[in-house]
């Protein structure tokens, strides 16, 4: 295969992607464009610019973008309309960020005339799949370079040696190996590897970065009211906020109350199990609240259909198929259900828990007159239930009679 001429690299500014930057230039003799995005990971981006410049990247070829609003509005919120959780528990914080990064990589490649993109995900994980499926779905002629699958820098020693040989600055604390690996964005932090590799061992306290321990959270509960429109959160305690601002606020509230920690062994798309520790404070509150508002505004048929399809939808996102026809079809189905998912949910946060304690909506389907133990003024005729049961039972009775007949 011929060498690429110009490569857009997903660049964090850290040691690993700096090594990739140099390796691409060395290995392929190609021009490198860097792309660094603020997805809410909580790091300054300007150092990445400086470092890219230091490593010889032309200032015109350094793309630094704040994607937080797009991330929450077009990726996180649509996903939360589905109440998506992977394997019953994981809120898909890393999974949902990858398609957006891939989308911008491809767009920048098209804008700059690059013929390839590159990322720093390893060959054992899900992220390589998410980056690459997204990229190919958006531009079938793009080439994707995944150095970790290609190069022979297979040990820490070799990596550091390559860095030194290529004048890549190495922060002191990067000399030794990190005790675990981290990914972060506005939705969550993810930690895995090393000290977390034995799933029988409780995760050490220092793994957590965004949430206080429940034991250290306030002794009195915090109450928060979240407003919804068309299935998306739009306000907190009456204050209208942009998507990213809202999630930021929920992260603060959730994090301060120890909400959103998860210790999980999950199944990777590439076939092995891995253990991750996640912190999704705002997302956890959001999920709880969204279910709360759906409870009073969503029809049963709509809700059950969503619930049945959710695992598939979550799996598609986890596996990297955000930009696939089937995810888009499911999204159309989900979005169709959310038109009147509106109103306000009151959530109690306390030492690790987030619980709905009240919900109200102008579009409520809850009818006290139907459910009441008191006289309902004819809203519901209990005798109808007798017919309902009889007809539902008919096939079961025919079956029981048949089984008795042939057993005799």
Question: Residues 362 to 391: which contact its own copies by CB under 8 A?
Answer: 362-368, 370-373, 375, 380-391
Measured from the CB of residue 237, what is the shortest distance to its own copies in angstroms?
Answer: 16
Q: Is 356 helix (H, G, I), strand (E, B) or coil?
A: strand
Q: What is the DSSP letter of 260?
A: -
H or E element: which one contains 8?
Answer: strand 6-10
Interface pattern 252-281 for its own copies (x via CB under 8 A): ---------xxxxxxx--xxxxxx------
Pick out residues in 7-46 that bind its own copies (CB under 8 A): none
Annotated ligand binding at 387? The verdict is no
Q: How far is CA 181 from the centre of its chain?
A: 17
Q: Does 216 help bind its own copies (rule: CB under 8 A)?
A: no
Q: Does 174 help bind its own copies (rule: CB under 8 A)?
A: no
Of positions 115, 148, 182, 256, contacts its own copies by CB under 8 A: 148
* Maximum C-alpha span of the chain: 88
CA distance 195 to 203: 8
Q: Does 234 help bind its own copies (rule: CB under 8 A)?
A: no
Q: Does 336 help bind its own copies (rule: CB under 8 A)?
A: yes
Annotated ligand binding at 261? The verdict is no
Q: Among 87, 88, 80, 48, which residue's Cα sits nearest to residue 66?
A: 48
Q: Which is nearer to its own copies, 42 or 199 (CB)?
A: 199
Measured from the CB of residue 402, what is the shortest distance to its own copies in angstroms?
Answer: 5
| Per-residue CA distances from 256 to 72, 92, 227 (Å) | 21, 21, 21
Size of the site for its own copies (CB under 8 A): 132
Q: Does 329 help bind its own copies (rule: CB under 8 A)?
A: yes
Q: Which residues, in sequence order, are CB contacts of 311 under 8 Å at separation 6+?
A: none
Q: In 10 A of CB 141, how many CB atoms?
A: 6
Is residue 96 within 8 A of residue 331, CB to CB? The reply is no
Pick out residues in 111-140 that bind its own copies (CB under 8 A): 122-124, 128-129, 132-133, 136-140
Pick out residues in 42-81 that bind its own copies (CB under 8 A): none
Q: Which residues are annotated as a binding site for ATP?
A: 10-18, 37, 120
């Amino acid at each position: 295969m011929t060498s690429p001429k110009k490569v857009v690299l997903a660049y964090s500014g850290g040691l690993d992607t700096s090594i990739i930057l140099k390796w691409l230039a060395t290995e392929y003799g190609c021009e490198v464009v860097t792309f660094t995005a603020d997805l809410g990971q909580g790091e300054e981006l300007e150092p990445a610019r400086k470092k890219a410049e230091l490593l010889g990247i032309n200032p015109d070829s350094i793309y630094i973008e704040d994607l937080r609003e797009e991330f929450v509005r077009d990726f996180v919120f649509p996903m939360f309309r589905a109440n998506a959780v992977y394997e019953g528990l994981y809120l898909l914080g890393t999974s949902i960020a990858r398609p957006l990064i891939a989308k911008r990589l491809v767009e920048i490649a098209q804008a700059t005339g690059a013929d390839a993109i590159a990322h720093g995900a390893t060959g054992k994980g899900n992220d390589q799949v998410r980056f690459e499926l997204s990229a190919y779905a958006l531009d079938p002629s793009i080439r994707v370079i995944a150095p970790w699958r290609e190069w022979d820098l297979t040990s820490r020693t070799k990596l550091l040696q390559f860095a030194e040989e290529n004048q890549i600055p190495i922060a002191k604390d990067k000399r030794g190996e990190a005790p675990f690996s981290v990914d972060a964005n506005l939705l969550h932090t993810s930690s895995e590897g090393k000290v977390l590799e034995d799933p029988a061992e409780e995760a050490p306290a220092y793994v957590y970065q965004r949430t206080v321990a429940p034991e250290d959270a306030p002794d009195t509960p915090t109450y928060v009211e979240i407003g919804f429109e068309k299935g998306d959160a739009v306000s907190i305690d009456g204050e209208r906020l942009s998507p990213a601002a809202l999630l930021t606020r929920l992260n603060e509230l959730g994090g301060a109350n120890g909400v959103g920690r998860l210790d999980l062994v999950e199944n990777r798309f590439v076939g092995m199990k891995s253990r991750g520790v996640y912190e999704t404070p705002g997302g956890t509150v959001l999920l709880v609240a969204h279910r709360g508002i759906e409870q009073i505004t969503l029809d049963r048929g709509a809700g059950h259909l969503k619930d049945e399809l959710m695992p598939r939808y979550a799996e598609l996102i986890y596996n990297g198929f955000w930009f696939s026809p089937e995810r888009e079809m499911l999204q159309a189905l989900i979005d169709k259900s959310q038109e009147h998912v509106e109103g306000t949910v009151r959530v109690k946060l306390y030492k690790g828990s987030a619980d709905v304690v009240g919900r109200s909506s102008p579009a409520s389907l809850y009818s006290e007159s139907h459910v009441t133990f008191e006289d309902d003024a004819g809203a519901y005729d209990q005798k109808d239930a007798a017919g309902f049961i009889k007809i539902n039972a008919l096939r079961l009775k025919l079956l029981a009679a048949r089984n008795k007949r042939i057993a005799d």
